Amino acid sequence: MESGRSLKPQAQALKGHLDVLLLATLAEGPRHGYAVKEALREGSGGRFDLPTGTVYPALHRLEDAGLIAGTWSVLDGRRRRTYRLTAAGRRRLTDDRANWRDFATAVTMLLEGSPWPATS
């Protein structure tokens, strides 16, 4: 884990993007809470390493919003809740990805002084 570059102290900065990042971890298929947290950490090269316990309430909020759906199963005597993207969640992820690409392109061009790409 790249603890020196971890965003733990900057959780507030991540907050505005947490929903789409959590949705993205479910794009490949269903995962349980701990697997979502691990996907977030591994997918970001260790930069987004949230305290695991704080990922669950965020998943519950996304479920309440109808963006993901959870189902219970039992594994080794433990109850496990597994989440998958709903159709609404998939649409939201597609939209947020497109918005992020536009935003990131604009910021990169501004910071690096690149010319604005032609739109036609």
* Residue 45 in tokens: 């090269």
Stretch that binds another protein, among 20-28, 46-54, 85-93, 105-113 (CB under 8 A): 46-54
* Residue 24 in tokens: 């993205």
Q: Which of 7, 20, 32, 44 binds another protein (CB under 8 A)?
A: 32
Number of residues that bind another protein (CB under 8 A): 19
User: Is position 13 an interface residue for another protein (rule: CB under 8 A)?
Assistant: no
User: Is position 47 an interface residue for another protein (rule: CB under 8 A)?
Assistant: no
User: Is position 14 an interface residue for another protein (rule: CB under 8 A)?
Assistant: no
Q: Are 44 and 94 in contact (CB under 8 A)?
A: no
User: Is position 31 an interface residue for another protein (rule: CB under 8 A)?
Assistant: no
User: Is position 10 an interface residue for another protein (rule: CB under 8 A)?
Assistant: no
Which H or E element spans position 49?
none
Nearest CA-CA partner of 55 in 68, 72, 38, 67: 38
User: Is position 9 an interface residue for another protein (rule: CB under 8 A)?
Assistant: no
The sign of the torsion formed by the CA atoms of 12, 14, 17, 18 equals negative
User: Is position 52 an interface residue for another protein (rule: CB under 8 A)?
Assistant: yes
Distance CA 50, CA 29 (A): 21
Residue owning tokens 């733990």: 8
Q: Which of 47, 61, 84, 90 binds another protein (CB under 8 A)?
A: 61
